[in-house]
Structure 1
């Protein structure tokens, strides 16, 4: 009896081809990190040029996040229909050309519209690359693989911040968008020639020549070829719609908890990432110092995403995630209270970056394991999309609070509460997931990664 390729891949050691695919996913996330954070790093310059209020700037910061929500909700599910790889290519083209167009705008409205279009592409890329990283990993190293993929966001945001500091001071803020657009289009070629289609997608959807493609991948993955496609995957393909599966009796509660986890963490995360440079500037720091703090928060994410992945290879990811969120809440309060001392503020910015980015990486590591291959991109995409709702609201709420005269210390404290609430939700998700695996042991082992 032939062993299902997915089951064989789950149990074998990771080979160089699998790590190569993870590397491509990291590169995709690097581009996304740059494209997402470019508005935060150019916020002061854009605001000064067009004399924007806090609410207007908040709307600009939210425009890209609004697009990401739409991309996650309406583009990402197509990865379960046409494939992970084709959708990534389409979304890269959308993001690349809209970033270049953003460098040519003449008003805040035009910039906001281009940020929305860029967000559409990013939303599709994030969900699909996250799923591919999970699907090519073994059971033992899945959390680490997805977390490493998440480091790309922090790397892109960090490098983007350093590039932004130079480009803004030398050529102006528009060149930052231009550089991001060109880099994104370069990734179209890299993805086209280097990234294979997901093995899980081929098994679940069985497109034309699926058997030949699966066996070609099998030889590169170091697993045995198969003589026919597994029947269990055919059954999944013919079952009910992807979205309705997310709220089936077996999955509904987990889906709700996952959505709430993304909402709360993204609500806090995007406030920290989007507003920190501008708020620090308003407290007396220079623009360069404010951006530097933002860069350090992003740089901390490189270590935070890898750290949560390493710990999760030994300890259940849900418990590690809860611990990271608790520490993040404490650091948010400590960070805003330290702005009178530049050195302490920058040090705490680095620590905060490690923890807050680790929280996001933990969400990405948890989410693919909850769903089967036939609905995985849909499930992850909707979870990310719901999280974007929190990300969209976050900068807008902060802008309104700041315009009303609330102090930065009080504002940061409010956002710390979001991470405390998220702890309760994640632990509830952990309990629900464990109960699901006990109730559906066969389904959990055969249909989830």
Structure 2
């Protein structure tokens, strides 16, 4: 049986605060390449597909990092894997400043993605491990707000530093990652006591992750996060183009992703306390369903820049707010002995949606589909996400009932 950490409220807040900072750094480094994409294209004469390849390299690394390093966190310890992941991301990002070829940049962004993907399950598990049981879901959600906030703050900072060039931005981001690794070293150690399912091998650890009726709820969560990330990354990637089609200036259109992320932060703040009382599942499913409806309404009714911006703020509040609650659901579904593995696999499979979303959006944009019709299609994965989370809630309840 796993022993809960002997922690105080001060320890819980300290762990959550440090994890919040690490989530900010992770969010910024993951999305930083989008901020400097125009400079990369100009510097090396890259085409749009090649820039997309840089995005895909980082996202693919994050998928593999979550799938591989999440289970290792349960076996070798959350803290060691967190520090290792951040060191890997930091060193790879620093080396990007020295990259002389497009191919070497792809490899380094993949390696950085491995580290960034591995850090997320570790901070989710540590935050949940040390949080008060009655406040676990809300604490995890509040911590994970750091991820989109890192994208917002980092985007503004990068915009101010673009005149220093690509290498300076890579160096600065790499140094911040190494600082995050140093912060990770100050985290308390959480040791999982031996569990009857774990045995001594990684295969048994994988089996234990889905024991006690967790397989079907886990698949439902994977489906929900995949669909949510597919939609949100589609919106983040193509919102500027949609706004330009509505008559916005390039400067205003560039603010579209920022508005979406700010909406997500507001949505997560609204739900953080509510999920402690009502649980993360049904509330999250409701937000995803309303978000899908909001996408449909904005696509059909919003005309002009200002109404579209307000619509994207609401969409961000609902859909990105729902996305930020998925770590709370994984912390609820998986017990401490497999919590890092469960979080890593959920994040890894879900992040496949972050690769598919922009690609599908690019295909649809290439068909010269109108922005309104485009957003109408985009509402479909939002509805799928809501249904998947509803299913996870019902399956989770049945598994608990069977266990009792």
TM-score by length of 2: 0.90
Closer, same or farther in 2 for the Cα pair 1:112/1:337, shift >3 Å? farther
Contact 2:246-2:304 within 8 A present in 1 as well: no
Aligned residues: 402
Q: 1:188 aligns with which of 161, 181, 190?
A: 181
Distance 1:250 1:276, change over 3 A: same
Of 262, 266, 282, the residue aligned with 2:225 is 262
What does the per-residue CA deviation read over 1:203-259, in whole Å, with 9 as the maximum and x for residues that have no partner?
A: 424xxxxxxxxxxxxxxxxxxxxxxxxxxx4x3443871212234462221222122
**Aligned twin of 1:102:** 96
Q: CA RMSD in A?
A: 2.6
* 2:171 alignment partner in structure 1: 178
Give the one of 339, 363, 366 matched to 2:329.
366
Aligned partners of 2:301 and 2:36: how far apart in 1?
Answer: 24
Give the 3 Å change call, closer, same or farther, for CA 333–160 of structure 1 in structure 2. Answer: farther
Match of 2:374 in 1: 411
**Which residue is equivalent to 1:276?**
239
Q: Give the one of 57, 73, 90 matched to 1:79.
A: 73
Does the residue aligned with 1:314 lie in a helix, a strand or coil? helix
The aligned residue for residue 197 of structure 1 is 189
On the 8 A contact 2:280/2:325 being kept in 1, the answer is yes
1:302 to 246, 262, 265: 265
Give the CA deviation at 1:135: 1.1
Residue from 312, 322, 347 that aligns with 1:349: 312
Which residue does 1:147 correspond to in 2?
Answer: 141
- Residue pair 2:228, 2:381 contacting (<8 A) in 1 also: yes
Shift of 1:287: 4.2
Provide, for residues 174-195 of structure 1, a one-character-per-residue CA deviation record: whole Å limited to 9, x for no partner: 5433322121111122221x21
Q: CA deviation at 1:130?
A: 0.7
- Quick check: 2:199–2:205 contact (8 Å CA) kept in 1? no
Structure-1 residue corresponding to 2:362: 399
In structure 1, C-alpha distance between the alignment counterparts of 2:368 and 2:385, rounded to whole Å: 27
CA contact (8 A) 2:281 2:390 kept: yes
CA gap of 1:333–1:108, structure 2 versus 1, over 3 A, is farther
TM superposition shift of 1:84: 0.4
Matches within 5 A, 1:197-346: 197-198=189-190, 202-205=191-194, 233=195, 235-238=196-199, 241-248=204-211, 250-277=213-240, 280=243, 285-335=248-298, 341-346=304-309
Contact 2:2 2:337 in 1 (8 A): no
Give, in whole Å, the separation in 2 of the partners of 1:109 and 1:405.
31
The correspondence for 1:69, drawn from 53, 57, 63, is 63
Could you tell me whether the CA contact under 8 Å between 2:15 and 2:127 is conserved in 1? yes
> How far did 1:43 drift?
3.1
SS at match of 2:4: helix
Give ranges in structure 1 of 5+ residues lacking alignment.
Answer: 206-232, 442-449
Q: Which has the larger radius of gyration?
A: 1
Q: Give, in whole Å, the separation in 2 of the partners of 1:103 and 1:283.
A: 37
Moved more, 344-353 or 367-376: 344-353
**d(CA) in 2 for partners of 1:427, 1:398:** 26
Gaps of 5+ in 2: none
**Equivalent position SS for 1:141:** helix
On the 8 A contact 1:204/1:237 being kept in 2, the answer is no
> 1:132: how far off?
0.8
Cα offset, 1:363, TM superposition? 0.9
Shift of 1:62: 2.1
Q: Distance in 1 between matches of 2:169 and 2:298?
A: 28
